[in-house]
Amino acid sequence: MLALIVLVGVSVMTLALLSIARLEPLISRNHVDLVRARYLAEAGIEHAFDVLARNAGTWSQYLPGATCATGALLADATVPHAPSDGHFAVSLRNDCAPGDERLTGAPLDGAGNATHDANGTILAISVGIVGRTTQTVTAAISDDHRLRESGQSVPRSAVKAYNWADR
């Protein structure tokens, strides 16, 4: 009788371990997709940073169709040579929505509107997508407008991404 109880106990433990072992690959795959989506979202932020750094002072040209709540699409790109590995979509919007001052650390762009940047601060929202997994990164990007106003060209080092928000 004791042997039967021990056998049932060992069988239950074996079945529990087998069911956990079946879930581990799924958990691992979800984690890998989440990490890839995060890297793709960060790549989108880097792309936006590069585009904005090359065109400092003329950022309003990237805002047509944007609102204070939703941005204008800047890029929707896949991984080169491996489109099945995911893609990112990055959009830009002016910092004119209520609550944006918490992300930018500066007052709202009162002189500008959704399609006109007056304070040299833009929010870049990048979504990395791998399969059914998405990761969103938002960055506030600003240029040193004092250099622009003095007539100098703005070096890449004067354009800064200075705050991040993950979702």
Distance (Å, whole) CA 88 – CA 21: 32
pLDDT digits (tens, 9 = 90+) for 29-82: 888 999 999 999 999 999 998 888 888 778 888 899 888 888 889 989 887 777
Q: How far is Cα 114 from Cα 25, in angstroms, rounded to an integer? A: 45
How far is the C-alpha of 164 from the C-alpha of 141, rounded, in Å?
10
Q: Where does the pLDDT of residue 152 fall: very low under 50, low under 70, confident under 90, or very high at 90 and above?
A: very low
Confidence of residue 146 (pLDDT cuts 50, 70, 90): low
Confidence band for 167, pLDDT divided at 50, 70 and 90: low
Range name among 19-23, 88-92, 100-104 with the lowest pLDDT average: 19-23
Quote the CA–CA distance of 9 and 148 in Å, as a whole number. Answer: 75
For residue 130, what are the contacts with CB-CB under 8 A and spacing of at least 6? 33, 34, 36, 37, 40, 85, 86
Query: Rounded to two decimals, what is the model's pTM?
Result: 0.75
pLDDT band at 150 (very low <50, low <70, confident <90, very high): very low
Q: Which residue has the tokens 């609550």?
A: 99
